[in-house]
Amino acid sequence: MHAVASLLTHRPDAILKLCVRNDKPSPKLAELLGQVDDAVTASHGQLQLARVDAAVLDDMVAGVHQGVVAVVRPLQEQGESALDELLDKWNDSAKALRLLVLDGVTDPHNLGACLRSACAADVAAVIIPKDRSASLTAAARKVAVGAAELVPVIRVTNLARTLSLLQQYGIWIAGADGDADASIFQLQLPDRIAFVLGSEGRGMRRLTRESCDQLFSIPMPGAIESLNVSVACGVALFESVRQSLPNKA
């Protein structure tokens, strides 16, 4: 339900059809339906609304749907011009900015899982290099569970140059490195930050690592010495989220 609400707010033009359960809605669904009605009116008939049996929704998603399913136009990978537009937009505001950069993550399942964490952590975009990177395949979209339609994936030609561009906009670059002395939990994370993570085996490339303002590690007291990149991604992003909370604990 939250994913549909986000689509209505951020990408209403991408919604082709909304299917809503035709029985009495829950309070949360009733609130969302008010937003749906506004979107249908604003679309001048372009947005289709269908009220269907719960079984129809079950067949559409093969999982939990909370009474509403959106059929959307897939969000495609974007180029470097999209990053320029995003940076100009955020540079003109006082808002915080959280970005995720993946270097050498070639498994589409890992890309999808990172996208899901990125969406939950309110990441503005996920940046990937032109080479040595997974694409937004059907497998990645499935693992992302809707996040691929909400978080832009921007593919760039030169990752080191892109990190330098981010720094010019005052964005702090923090790279995950298992050998780093500083723990992610020891750092005071700024409100404009880009987290960089490499593949589980190789980690970041040398130029990528050298482009970071800070390297950090994730403490692991157990027998395993490394985390799956999607797990490490979630740890880093949500430490940033925790530090941004008004009454952080």
Would you give per-residue pLDDT tens digits along the chain (249 residues)? 777 877 787 777 788 888 888 888 788 888 888 888 888 788 777 788 889 888 888 888 766 778 888 888 877 899 999 999 999 989 888 788 999 999 999 999 999 999 999 999 999 999 999 998 999 988 898 888 778 888 999 999 999 999 999 999 999 999 999 999 999 999 999 999 999 999 877 889 999 999 999 999 999 988 888 889 999 999 999 999 999 998 765
pLDDT the model gives residue 249:
59
**Shared domain check, 176 and 96:** yes
Give this prediction's pTM.
Answer: 0.80
Beta carbons of 219 and 185 less than 8 angstroms apart: yes
**Shared domain check, 236 and 176:** yes
CATH code, 207: 3.40.1280.10
> By C-alpha distance, which of 184, 83, 177 is closest to 129?
83
pLDDT the model gives residue 212:
98
Both tokens of 215, joined, read 């390297």
**Shared domain check, 225 and 162:** yes
104: left (phi over 0), alpha (psi -120 to 50) or beta: left
**Shared domain check, 92 and 64:** no
Question: What are the start-end ranges of the E strands in 28-136?
Answer: 48-52, 68-72, 97-103, 125-129
pLDDT the model gives residue 138:
81
pLDDT the model gives residue 202:
82
Both tokens of 23, joined, read 């029985």
Within-domain flag for 249: no
- Which uninterrupted H or E stretch holds 140? helix 138-144
Domain extent, residue 156, equals: 80-244
First vs last Cα of the chain: how many Å apart?
Answer: 28
CA triplet 216, 150, 156: central angle to 5 degrees?
A: 55
| Domains contained in the chain, number | 2
**Shared domain check, 86 and 44:** no
